[in-house]
């Protein structure tokens, strides 16, 4: 098979794995690892067949990881640290030191390696990383505070782990801590100066260029890719493994400046991240032979259990001992979420290659010769750790978060843009049925009225930074843009597609829907039109003004949709459907087919004629049964 065919096949497998994981609600990385390993084992196809030089492959992997960390840095907002700052600081300092020491001890007594290799392994495995954390967060959907803590730790701790591994390796080269502490100290200072200084400096230069519009729009994506590559390669050329710190600082600095927007760059990088993660895991898992796994699987399993059951829980609980910033439930969740990813695999490969290479070049060096055999086992061992932690945390984290009350598996809540009287009636009806609703409006009197009705309401513009960064979206699965302004509704729908997905972003039918389609708001700028029959804002306001109330009706074989229409006719507007498992969905404005055992939530104006009363008795008796 040619290289082109191999890469095309990897892309296809990546899509299959990502789609299957989405459908089955499994961690995508787990399927990617399994498919990559199976592809290599059963077909013999692996990246090594096409890229013979391992150092070239590792350079490519390093660049990919740099892009992912840069994209991760772009998602880190300092505003998130208001409630997550102290836990993040503890996890990235105290917990890292504890994990480093405990992992080294665990490696010593489960693997039997020399202390030098154990320390190196301890440094490498303090990382978690956005390659594994981001897909898990997408699967788990934890509450904002917990999500911020996990996201910040996963991104910040990656360069910390890489730098720590470099310092340990320098210590090994110098023959021990006593001989090389001064060199280690110099390396640490250089790494910090290069990483922070170059990252921040490039961010300021980029900010200046973009604020003066010196980078044309069509070149921005390419410019940022080149910028990441230059920052990563340049930093590594000055100080080994400083590149990851540089690109992380670069991303964070750009994300938190106020002069220019980098939102469109973030969206491009998010799409690129999915592609890169798929390719990386498929390629790297395919490099591990089954014979290598068999060689270390028994002791590797013991080491894995020590990491999951001892190292991570002890590190988290001791680091947060007596802390008032995290609850016990949050600490328990954090203690059971530390998957390892590509950074661990890439850094391990680099140092294993350097140690074995040094032993070949200097066979008279007893230290390298003694460590070379153990270093050769590090790559399959870390692969076992990656596969094991991704499997364990991926399958456990989501149900654990739900059990602890920190997430919703299928959020059915509705974010309403607007707090008009008819919206308050609808939201109140949904809340009474157990669905979470949040109303956003800029007018104080509307928000106050909503709060007096017992609803959760916030005074904010749906298009503001506050709405994007400060609101806790836990439990919310839909946006219904329902302000009196059609253009605001369209913009809100477009803005929130990245958070809820296009299928879950709705807006009420605009008043200009019958306007010539070429002169109205373009379809790609709008959300899906909701509520059966396509009622406009004025229709819904008028309906509630006539006394309409929210009504929930269970449709069955006895009381069907036709019976409901006969009973209520034009005096009902069907808004939402709810399945037996509690999944809530707005109804499409077109003639959506509603059938089977399903509950509909509608605005209904009650009538008193005899025929309607008879049908209503049938409706009520069916609901009671």
Mean pLDDT in residue range 179-183? 68
Confidence of residue 587 (pLDDT cuts 50, 70, 90): confident
Note the pLDDT of residue 516. Answer: 46
Q: Are 106 and 303 in contact (CB under 8 A)?
A: yes
Confidence of residue 486 (pLDDT cuts 50, 70, 90): confident
Average model confidence (pLDDT) across the chain? 83
Q: Are 69 and 159 in contact (CB under 8 A)?
A: yes
Looking at the chain, which residues constitute the CATH 1.20.1530.20 domain(s)? 53-403
User: What length does the chain have?
Assistant: 625
Residue 288 reports pLDDT greater than 60: yes
Q: CATH 3.40.50.720: which residues of the chain?
A: 413-512+520-624
User: 310 vs 38, which has greater pLDDT?
Assistant: 310
Average pLDDT over residues 97-106: 94
Question: What is the fold, at CATH topology level, of the domain defined by 413-512+520-624?
Answer: Rossmann fold (3.40.50)
Q: Which of 50-59, 202-211, 278-287 has the lowest mean pLDDT?
A: 50-59
Query: Using a CB cutoff of 8 Å and minimum separation of 24, what contacts does 407-410 make?
Result: 407/140, 407/141, 407/142, 407/143, 407/146, 407/474, 408/141, 408/474, 408/475, 408/477, 409/25, 409/141, 410/477, 410/581, 410/582, 410/583
pLDDT of residue 29: 81
Span between the terminal Cα atoms of the chain, in Å: 63
The mean pLDDT of 322-339, rounded to a whole number, is 88
Residue 243's H or E segment, with its range, is helix 243-256
Task: Phi first, then psi: give them for residue 461, nearest 5 degrees.
Answer: -80, 135
Within 364-491, strands assigned E span 413-417, 437-441, 456-459, 476-481
- For CA atoms 451, 453, 456, 460, the dihedral sign is negative
Closest CA to 566 of 579, 553, 577: 553
| Percent of the chain whose pLDDT exceeds 90 | 14
Could you report the per-residue pLDDT of 108-134, keeping only the tens digit for each? 999 888 888 899 899 989 988 777 787
Q: Which of 404, 473, 392 is nearest to 440 (CA)?
A: 473
How far is Cα 163 from Cα 407, in angstroms, rounded to an integer?
Answer: 33
- Average pLDDT, stretch 209-229? 87
What is the spatial distance between Cα 358 and Cα 306, in angstroms, rounded to a whole number?
A: 31
DSSP letter string, 559-605 = S-HHHHHHHHGGGEEEEEEE-TT--EEEPBSS-----SSEEEEEEE-
**Model confidence pLDDT, tens digit, residues 493-544:** 888 887 888 888 888 887 765 554 555 666 666 778 888 877 888 888 888 8
Backbone angles phi, psi at 519, to 5 degrees: -110, -5
Q: Is 162 left (phi over 0), alpha (psi -120 to 50) or beta?
A: alpha
Confidence of residue 201 (pLDDT cuts 50, 70, 90): very high
Q: Reduce the DSSP state of residue 416 to 3 states and report it.
A: strand
Which of 18-32, 400-414, 450-464 has maximum average pLDDT? 450-464
pLDDT of residue 612: 53
Tell me the CB-side half-sphere exposure of residue 419, using CA atoms within 13 A.
Answer: 26
pLDDT digits (tens, 9 = 90+) for 576-585: 888 887 788 8
pTM: 0.77
The share of the chain scoring above pLDDT 70, in percent, equals 90
In the predicted model, is pLDDT for residue 262 greater than 70? yes
What is residue 116's predicted lDDT score, i.e. its pLDDT? 86
More confident position, 59 or 366: 59
What pLDDT, in 10s, does the model give residues 419-457? Answer: 999 999 999 999 988 888 999 998 999 999 999 999 989
Tell me which of 138 and 388 has the higher pLDDT: 388
CATH architecture of 53-403: Up-down Bundle (1.20)
């Amino acid at each position: 098979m040619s290289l082109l065919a191999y890469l095309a096949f990897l892309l296809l497998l990546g899509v299959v794995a990502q789609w299957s994981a989405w459908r089955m609600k499994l961690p995508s990385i787990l399927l990617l690892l399994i498919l990559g390993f199976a592809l290599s084992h059963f077909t013999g196809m692996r990246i090594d067949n096409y890229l013979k030089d391992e150092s070239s492959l590792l350079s490519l992997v390093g660049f990919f990881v740099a892009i992912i960390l840069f994209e991760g840095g772009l998602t880190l907002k300092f505003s998130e640290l208001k409630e997550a700052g102290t836990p993040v600081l503890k996890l990235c300092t105290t917990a890292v030191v504890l994990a480093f020491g405990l992992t080294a001890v665990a490696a010593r007594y489960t693997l039997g390696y020399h202390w030098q290799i154990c320390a190196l392994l301890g440094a490498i495995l303090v990382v978690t990383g956005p390659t594994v954390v981001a897909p898990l967060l997408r699967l788990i959907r934890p509450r904002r505070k917990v999500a911020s803590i996990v996201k910040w730790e996963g991104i910040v701790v990656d360069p910390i782990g890489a730098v720590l591994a470099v310092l340990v390796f320098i210590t090994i080269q110098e023959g021990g801590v006593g001989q090389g502490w001064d060199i280690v100290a110099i390396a640490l200072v250089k790494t910090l100066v290069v990483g922070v200084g170059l990252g921040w400096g490039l961010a300021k230069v980029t900010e200046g260029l973009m604020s003066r519009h010196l980078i044309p729009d069509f070149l921005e994506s390419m410019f940022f890719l080149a910028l990441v590559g230059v920052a990563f390669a340049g930093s590594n050329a000055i100080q080994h493994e400083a590149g990851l710190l540089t690109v992380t600082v670069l991303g964070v600095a750009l994300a938190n400046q106020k002069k220019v927007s980098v939102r469109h760059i973030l969206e491009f990088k998010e799409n690129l991240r999915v592609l890169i993660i798929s390719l990386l895991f498929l390629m790297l898992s395919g490099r591990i032979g089954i014979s290598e796994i068999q060689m270390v699987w028994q002791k590797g399993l013991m080491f894995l259990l020590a990491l999951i059951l001892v190292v991570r829980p002890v590190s988290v609980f001791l680091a947060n001992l007596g802390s008032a910033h995290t609850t016990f439930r949050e600490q328990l969740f954090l203690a059971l979420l530390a998957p390892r990813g590509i950074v661990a695999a890439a850094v391990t490969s680099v140092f294993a290659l350097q140690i074995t290479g040094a032993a070949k070049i200097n066979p008279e060096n007893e230290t390298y010769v003694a460590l070379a055999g153990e270093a050769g086992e590090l790559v399959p061992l870390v692969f076992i750790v990656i596969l094991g932690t991704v499997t364990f945390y991926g399958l456990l984290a989501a149900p654990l978060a739900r059990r602890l009350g920190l997430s919703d598996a299928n959020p059915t809540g509705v974010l309403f843009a607007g707090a008009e009287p008819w919206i308050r009636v609808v939201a109140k009806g949904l809340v009474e049925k157990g669905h979470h609703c949040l109303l956003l409006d800029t007018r104080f009197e509307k928000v106050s009225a909503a709060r007096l009705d017992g609803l959760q309401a916030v005074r904010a513009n749906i298009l503001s930074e506050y709405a994007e960064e400060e609101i806790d979206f836990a439990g919310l699965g839909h946006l219904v843009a329902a302000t009196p302004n059609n253009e605001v509704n369209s913009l809100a729908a477009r803005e929130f597609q990245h958070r809820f997905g296009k299928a879950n972003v709705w807006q009420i039918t605009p008043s200009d829907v019958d306007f010539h389609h070429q002169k109205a708001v373009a379809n790609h700028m709008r959300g899906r039109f909701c509520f059966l029959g396509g009622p406009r804002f004025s229709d819904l306001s008028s309906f509630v003004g006539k006394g309409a109330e929210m009504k929930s009706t269970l449709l069955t074989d006895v009381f069907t949709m036709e019976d409901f229409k006969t009973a209520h006719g034009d005096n009902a507007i069907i808004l939402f459907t709810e399945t037996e498992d509690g999944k809530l969905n707005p109804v499409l404005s077109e003639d959506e087919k509603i059938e089977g055992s399903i509950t509909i939530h509608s605005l209904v104006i009650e009538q008193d004629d005899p025929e309607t009363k008879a049908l209503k008795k049938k409706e009520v008796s069916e609901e009671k049964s």
